[in-house]
Amino acid sequence: MTWETMMGLEVHLQLATESKIFSGSSTQFGAPPNVQADAVDLGMPGMLPVLNEEAVRFAVKFGLGIGARIGRRSIFDRKNYFYPDLPKGYQISQFFSPIVCEGVFEVPMEDGSLLPIRITRAHLEEDAGKSVHDIFNQESGIDLNRAGTPLLEIVTEPDFRSAEQAVAYLKALHSLVTYLGISDGNMAEGSMRCDINISLRRTGSDVLGTRTEIKNVNSFRFVERAIHSEVERQSDILDSGGSITQETRLYDAERDETRSMRSKEVANDYRYFPEPDLLPIEIDEAYIEAVRASLPELPAAKRARFVSEYELSDYDAALLVPDHATAAFFEEVVSLGGAAKPAANWILGDLSGALNRADLTIESSPVSAEALAGLIGRIEDGTLSSKLAKQVFDGLWQGEGATDEIIAKRGLKQVSDTGALAQLVDDVIAANPDQVAQYLAADEAKQKKLSGFFVGQIMKASQGQANPKLLNELLIKKLNDQS
Amino acid sequence: MVDSAVLHASVSELHGMLTQRQISSEELTQAFLERIDLLNGKLNAVVTVCAEQALNDARRADKRLSRGKATMLTGIPLLHKDIFCTQGIRTTCGSRMLEQFIPAYDATVVAKLKTAGVVMLGKCNMDEFAMGSSNETSFFGTVKNPWDTQCVPGGSSGGSAAALAAGMATLVTGTDTGGSIRQPASLCGITGLKPTYGRVSRLGIIAFASSLDQAGPMARSAADCAHMLTAMSGLDAGDSTSADLAVPDFFSELSGDVAGLRIGLPREYFNDDLDSSVRAQVMSALSQLEKAGAQLIDIDLPHSHYAIATYYVLAPAEASANLARYDGVRFGYRCADPADLEDLYLRSRSEGFGEEVQRRILVGTYALSAGFYDAYFNKAQQVRRVITDDFRKAFQSVDVIAGPSAPGIAFRFGAKQQDPIAMYMEDIYTLAVNLAGLPGLSAPAGLINGMPVGLQLIGKPFEESTILNAAHRLQLDTDWHLARPPIEEWQP
């Protein structure tokens, strides 16, 4: 039996507002427990929520960023349930009328195609606190620093058919929200948390199967692995004639399996009703237009522009754009005179390799955009061969100064003096009569291959500094002269 | 020794005495503290007395008075309903759940009155979480009506009303979710105003039903209520539902002129169900206003009879969520030795909440449950709009709507305790005003068998001045509001 995987994602995105969604407490990550929880966050008697307008603006930014319809009148609701890290006994959320309504998000796939994913809705809500079970002997601790952090819950239709699509969506979402500046999207710190709804159906059928929900998966890699293992589990059950139980499951990364959550929430009834302590959020056209005008260039537009303006390949553009800082670095290199294609190659190649090895981000790169532009300039003007350029790059990385200083200090200038090169060519030809004879006897295709041997010898003799273009010209001419 | 007349004096009289140095706030405060000491054992109207702090506040007020920087309320002794959070002072809301709760903050109302210079004497008893119409649900025991200690004072602001009637303070605060200021004001013979929803900040007031709760003044006269309302009102950035409207000086708006004032009498209030003696007193008050130039006009509020059902779906529904925070985890009552989380929740809430509170949590939870939401909560929301619309239409032809504040005079303890519906009927004339968010007041309209009865006046949104002015006219022309309970007779 073949099964088709149907998946929808719910992403809880922490919005990067300075203060919480309904109180003035800071939202900084990593503070000691409960120092960022005021009377509102603690749910103290008589305390009232006051909406942080920045959170509304961020939600509208997101809605416009994916081209969704903005709810002109969205309403907060109370979602009622008891849990120790939920101070009020209800979470303020949006159930009936969300702020962001339906939209379509186009996810760039690795093959350059765009995968349209239907966004059902995105709504504002407050985060809960954290229960800590492993610090106190026999007792649980509650940390309410996170309680009240603004969340945007982004819900998709069941449009994903593979783990790869789901991960591509999450990466594109991450890119979008960091471009919008509405979240740091840090999955490890819980700024972006993902729930996955998975069901299988018989290929060709249009009846949805019973779904399970995998909660709180916190990295791209785990999303991929969780999906693979859950799909395998479900198809094993279905193949052997069993049926799927609708339930919430947790992904255990250590065992690489999903398992049923202890069902503390048997048939939860959240008893949603409109939050009487808050007014509806009324959003008019002028507000939407003002937010729209404040939007930065978004990833999709930037990809297209990189292709048209810098004549980059779709592939390069797709690699440069997702990380806002990388794209900015690229444009800075180009604006400082670095040619676009080599700039892209250096950034995506040697620079990102070095950064990864050193565990640095591009913002803290030891090689500045200016330095890289200088290096590329010296390649373009023929001063450096690509081989020498790698040595200069190493010098730049080590902080030995600017490109020209390193060239001088390390004596890396390319030999472009025809006289000196001619002497090197002559010497190598003289020292290798057998190879010369072979060369002369070969056909054109073979000759090309054999010339490599001479180039290598000459490069070696010049300690890599021979200008390869000039060298080639001289060599071919002189070899042909031998006949 | 201070003349006991000051215990029943008005704000204006006391302000005159204070500014002319005939009496100091400290002496006044001392006199009220002694009065509380003398009578509270019998009335149980006050649950917390803050003698030391009150005297400090009074001395500070005296300095302010001597510098000539006093407001009308500077140095005037006041009691707060124990639903208002008071920084550093226990705030119980009449519940075992909060028996030991000491807030770290003042309610906006408390802070505003403090700024105006009032002296807080302490906190008043009340029905638990403001749920009740007789003050019989308080964890701290019933409050006695000073007019007859066999009778209830009304509720939920029963402690406030009884304390004021007994001369334990010049001013008291109350809150009114379905009648909790007006009904006890009626039963204790004082003037009490529920302002328009949004007029007074709810921040720091322990929530019962957020879309209905409103704090207001309770005092000896409409004039005193006006002074107090001016100090209590105004936009509060901390309460999103507070109104962004200028606050008038309500006292200076009391012209006493009611000529041409159109007063609507809903047929649904003055029908055959109305007790004839209550009708007689209410009509006698209204005819006073008519004599002063007001017109009495029969009107219809056709959906009035849905008010109780609507209220008793919506208020418990909101309460069921508002009271979820009392879970034994962070503050408030926690049961002994919980076996696990479930046990902690179950026993903390079962032991910490009284019967009426638990009943309303259950009712509210039910009304919001899957499968019942549309039939109950949603339907009630719709009817609420219909009821609001009734008032809107009626106010196209009248300026004020009048009726009784309560169906009768104070009843005996236990008389309605076993019958929740009979108890809920106590608020039959007041509930709709909360559902519509309108201002309403109760002013004394004489005695029936020696017990007070109130006239209710309902105004258009944010037109508290109109109903205060009508009550003020009544109080210029009658002395019902000056009647005092026969306390001296039962004094030791």
pLDDT digits (tens, 9 = 90+) for A268-309: 799 999 999 999 999 999 999 999 999 999 999 999 999 999
- Where in B316-397 does DSSP place strands (E)? none
Q: Say how far apart CA B168 and CA B4 lie, in whole Å.
A: 11
Quote ipTM for the complex.
0.96
Measure CB to CB from residue A45 to each of B206, B240, B241 and give the nearest one: B206
Q: Say how far apart CA A152 and CA A419 lie, in whole Å.
A: 69
Pair of tokens at residue A12: 């809880």
Yes or no: say if B462 and B243 are a contact pair by the CB < 8 Å rule.
yes
Mean pLDDT value of segment A111-124: 94
**Residue B283 at interface with chain A, using a CB cutoff of 8 Å:** no
Predicted pLDDT at A266: 54
B chain contacts of residue A278, beta-carbon cutoff 8 Å: 240-241
pLDDT range class, residue A264, cuts 50, 70, 90:
very low
Q: Say how far apart CA A155 and CA A35 lie, in whole Å.
A: 32
Yes or no: say if B168 and B279 are a contact pair by the CB < 8 Å rule.
no
Provide the percentage of residues in chain B whose pLDDT is more than 90: 95
Question: Nearest chain A Cα to B345, which residue?
Answer: A82
Sign of CA dihedral B17, B18, B20, B24: positive
The reported pTM is 0.91
B chain contacts of residue A263, beta-carbon cutoff 8 Å: none
- Bridge partners for A142 per DSSP: A131
**Residue A382 at interface with chain B, using a CB cutoff of 8 Å:** no
Q: Which of A386, A450, A382, A384 is nearest to A412 (CA)?
A: A384
Predicted pLDDT at A405: 87
**Residue B87 at interface with chain A, using a CB cutoff of 8 Å:** no
Least confident of A235-249, A336-350, A379-393, B131-145: A379-393
pLDDT digits (tens, 9 = 90+) for A160-185: 999 999 999 999 999 999 999 999 99
DSSP A208-237: ----EEEEEE-SHHHHHHHHHHHHHHHHHH
B240, A50: Cβ pair inside 8 Å? yes
pLDDT digits (tens, 9 = 90+) for A393-421: 999 999 998 888 888 888 777 777 778 88
B324, A39: Cβ pair inside 8 Å? no
Q: Is B416 a catalytic residue?
A: no
Predicted pLDDT at B1: 52
Q: Say how far apart CA B231 and CA B245 lie, in whole Å.
A: 14
- The CATH number for A418-481, chosen from 3.40.50.970, 3.40.50.10320, 3.30.70.330, 1.10.10.410, is 1.10.10.410
B chain contacts of residue A84, beta-carbon cutoff 8 Å: 327, 329, 341
Q: Is the pLDDT score of A465 beyond 80?
A: no
Q: Is B81 a catalytic residue?
A: yes
Average pLDDT over chain A reads 92
Q: Is the pLDDT score of A391 beyond 70?
A: yes
Domain locations in chain A as residue ranges: 10-194+268-290, 297-410, 418-481
Sign of CA dihedral B11, B12, B18, B22: negative
Which of A417-421, B142-146, B424-428 has maximum average pLDDT? B142-146
- Bridge partners for A151 per DSSP: A14, A125
Interface probe, candidates A85, A126, A271, A279, chain B, greatest B C-beta count within 10 A: A271
Give the domains, in start order, of chain B with CATH numbers. 4-264+397-490 (3.90.1300.10)
Yes or no: say if B258 and B465 are a contact pair by the CB < 8 Å rule.
no
